[in-house]
Amino acid sequence: MDNVVEIKNVFKSYQLGSTEVYAIRGLSLNIRRGEFTALIGASGSGKTTLLNLVGSLDNADKGEILIENVSLKNLNENQKSFLRNEKIGFIFQSFNLVPVLNVFENVEVPLTIRKGLKDEERKARVLTALKDVGLEEFLHHRPDQLSGGQRQRVAIARALVTEPVLILADEPTANLDSKTAHHIIDLMLELNRKRNTTFFFCTHDEKLMSRVQRIIKIKDGALVD
């Protein structure tokens, strides 16, 4: 079994006033290398919480999560930051681009903290990622000069540029019109096949659900068979 992600009996709760609310309840799940997997469920079901736990943006209360056999619970914050930069790409529904940076600079950001990466290699990686998403002609455009679909392509290129084993996407087509959403889905599927990059994302988008390899349903913080 070549698992990129292993989730073992994970619990996560939050304190709301005097009430403890469980967002994730004893959840176990494996994601294999190269999978294109959708996590679906109603609002408040625990989708985003689970993505944040897998991405080491939050910590589980109990249980264990491993990324390529590395346990997140044994890592300090600097080690988690290093793991995210080396292993995980993130795509957000709000794009999260830096307004004052152009397309090239936005995609380059994750590589600027890589030690030992020469300028020529960094530039080559950025150009390759932008070519893969069809934006090589927009290097010097700022985000406010791009359409929503183009901005999401920049976000995908930024996620790809570190050559991660896993891309986590939170509602990647939520802010796009139907036609643009189909183009973004096509692009993610193409990149999944071309690079064998593992995609794990949450979505309400039926267009996306109908084209994934695997659908995982979550309700009240637990998986639904």
pLDDT at 120: 94
In the chain, what percentage of residues exceed pLDDT 70?
100
CA dist 25 and 188 (Å) reads 30
| Terminal Cα-to-Cα distance of the chain (whole angstroms) | 21
**Range name among 22-31, 94-103, 197-206 with the lowest pLDDT average:** 197-206
Q: Looking at the chain, which runs of residues are DSSP E strands?
A: 3-16, 19-32, 36-40, 62-67, 70-71, 88-92, 166-170, 198-202, 214-219, 222-224
Q: Which residues pair with 7 in a beta bridge?
A: 29, 65
CATH class in words for 35-60+72-224? alpha beta
pLDDT digits (tens, 9 = 90+) for 183-204: 888 888 998 999 899 999 998 8
User: Tens digits of per-residue pLDDT, 160-184?
Assistant: 999 999 999 998 888 888 888 888 8
List the chain domain ranges: 35-60+72-224
What confidence score (pLDDT) does residue 1 get? 57
Residue 49 pLDDT: 95
pTM score over 0.95: no
pLDDT of 80: 95
pLDDT digits (tens, 9 = 90+) for 112-162: 988 888 999 999 999 999 999 999 999 999 999 999 999 999 999 999 999
